[in-house]
Amino acid sequence: MKIGMLTSGGDCQALNAAMRGVVKTLANNVDDLTIYGFSNGYQGLIYGKYRILTKADFSGILTVGGTILGSSRTPFKQIREPGEDGVDKVHAMKSNYEKLGLDCLVILGGNGTQKTANLLREEGLNVIHLPKTIDNDIYGTDVTFGFYSAIDIACHSIDCIHTTAASHNRVFIVEVMGHKVGWLTLYAGVGSGADIILIPEIPYDIDKVIAGIKKRQESGKNFTILAVAEGAISKEDAKLSKKELKKKIAKSPYPSVSYKIAHEIEEACGVEARVTVPGHMQRGGAPDAYDRILCTRLGAAAGQAIIDKDYGNMIGMVNGETKRIPLEKCAGKLKSVDPKGKMVREIKALGISFGD
Ligand code: F6P
Query: In whole angstroms, what is the distance from residue 155 CA to residue 146 CA?
Result: 14
- Ligand 1 pocket check for 37: Cβ under 6 Å: no
Choose among 50, 74, 65: nearest CA to 15. Answer: 65
Q: What is the pLDDT of residues 95-114, one digit of tens each?
A: 999 999 999 999 999 999 99
Q: What is the pLDDT of residues 136-149, one digit of tens each?
A: 999 999 999 999 99
For atom 2 of ligand 1, which residue has the closest CA? 10
Query: In whole angstroms, what is the distance from residue 84 CA to residue 46 CA?
Result: 13
> Which atom of ligand 1 is found nearest the CA of 283?
4
Strands 171-176 and 273-276: parallel
Cα 182 to middle of ligand 1, angstroms: 13
Pocket residue to mutate for ligand 1, from 111, 134, 137, 147, most atoms within 8 A of Cβ? 134
Q: What is the pLDDT of residues 253-312, one digit of tens each?
A: 999 999 999 999 999 999 999 999 999 999 999 999 999 999 999 999 999 999 999 999
Cα 179 to middle of ligand 1, angstroms: 6
Query: CB neighbours of 158 closer than 8 A, spacing ≥ 6?
Result: 174, 188, 189, 192, 193, 194, 225, 227
Strand ranges in the chain using DSSP code E only, listed in sequence order: 2-7, 34-38, 50-53, 104-109, 127-131, 171-176, 196-198, 224-229, 273-276, 313-318, 321-326
Across the strands, what pairs with 2?
A: 34
- Ligand 1 pocket check for 231: Cβ under 6 Å: no
Q: Which of 11, 57, 135, 152 is catalytic?
A: 135
- Ligand 1 pocket check for 130: Cβ under 6 Å: no
- DSSP per-residue string spanning 66-114: S-TT------GGGTTS--TT---HHHHHHHHHHHHT-SEEEEEE-HHHH
Q: What is the pLDDT of residues 214-225, one digit of tens each?
A: 999 999 999 999
Judge contact between 22 and 302, C-beta under 8 A.
yes
Q: Compute the average pLDDT of residues 306-320.
A: 98
Q: Compute the average pLDDT of residues 10-39.
A: 97
- pLDDT score of 83: 84
- Ligand 1 pocket check for 134: Cβ under 6 Å: yes
> Which atom of ligand 1 is found nearest the CA of 280?
4
Judged by DSSP in three states, 275 sits in strand
DSSP 8-class letter at 204:
B
Choose among 349, 11, 353: nearest CA to 177. Answer: 11
For atom 7 of ligand 1, which residue has the closest CA? 179
For atom 15 of ligand 1, which residue has the closest CA? 10
pLDDT over 70, % of the chain = 100
- Ligand 1 pocket check for 109: Cβ under 6 Å: no
Cα 174 to middle of ligand 1, angstroms: 16
Cα 32 to middle of ligand 1, angstroms: 38
Query: In whole angstroms, what is the distance from residue 42 CA to residue 160 CA?
Result: 38
For atom 6 of ligand 1, which residue has the closest CA? 178
Judge contact between 181 and 305, C-beta under 8 A.
no
- Ligand 1 pocket check for 283: Cβ under 6 Å: yes
Choose among 49, 64, 50, 62: nearest CA to 23. Answer: 62
Q: How many CB atoms lie within 10 A of CB 265?
A: 22
DSSP 8-class letter at 351:
T
Cα 9 to middle of ligand 1, angstroms: 8
Judge contact between 23 and 79, C-beta under 8 A.
no
Strands 321-326 and 313-318: antiparallel
Mean pLDDT of the chain: 97
Does the pLDDT value for residue 171 go beyond 90? Answer: yes
- Ligand 1 pocket check for 278: Cβ under 6 Å: no
pTM exceeding the 0.85 threshold for the entire prediction: yes
- Ligand 1 pocket check for 178: Cβ under 6 Å: yes
Query: In whole angstroms, what is the distance from residue 144 CA to residue 138 CA?
Result: 7
Residue 135 is a catalytic residue:
yes
- Ligand 1 pocket check for 137: Cβ under 6 Å: no
Choose among 200, 203, 221, 201: nearest CA to 212. Answer: 221
Cα four-point dihedral sign 144, 146, 148, 150: negative
Cα four-point dihedral sign 18, 24, 26, 32: positive
